[in-house]
Amino acid sequence: MNNSVLIGRLARDPDLKYIPGSGTAVATFSIAVDRDYIKKDGTKETDFIPVEVMGKLAEVCANNLGKGRLVAIVGSIRVDSYEKEGEKRTYTKVHADRMKFLDYKKENKENEYTFEPQGLDPQGFQAIDDDDIPF
């Protein structure tokens, strides 16, 4: 079984191209994913993972995603090989089948993403006592 699930931020804007002949859209970008391990100095290492998206989802990504956006990706790992200057090389990437945007577009010029829950009335919330909780 070849299945990968990643959550990370885009390291660069998606690059949208179309396959000659078929016209299929292909978007490529990288996401930054922190490792779980924390070093002695308190920092984490980050992996920059190349991602490829095809079809309508590629166009949606190119039109709605940009550097710094948080996404969840479900896909499979692919290893491609090619030859450059007579030397055989391999390239590993994630081919995304599904994707979920985990934040919203930039709303201001300070490069911050905003998140406002939809359908919730902030005035409708009220404090409850611990005795009212059934568990």
Residues 58-114: tens digit of each pLDDT: 999 999 898 999 999 999 999 999 888 889 999 899 999 999 988 876 655 555 555
CB-CB contact of 83 with 8 (8 Å): no
- The residue extents of the domains of the chain are 4-35+44-106
In angstroms, the first-to-last Cα distance of the chain is 39
- Give pTM, 2 decimals: 0.70
CATH superfamily of 4-35+44-106: Nucleic acid-binding proteins (2.40.50.140)
pLDDT tens digits, one per residue of 24-43: 999 999 999 988 888 888 88
Say if residues 11 and 33 touch (Cβ distance below 8 Å).
no
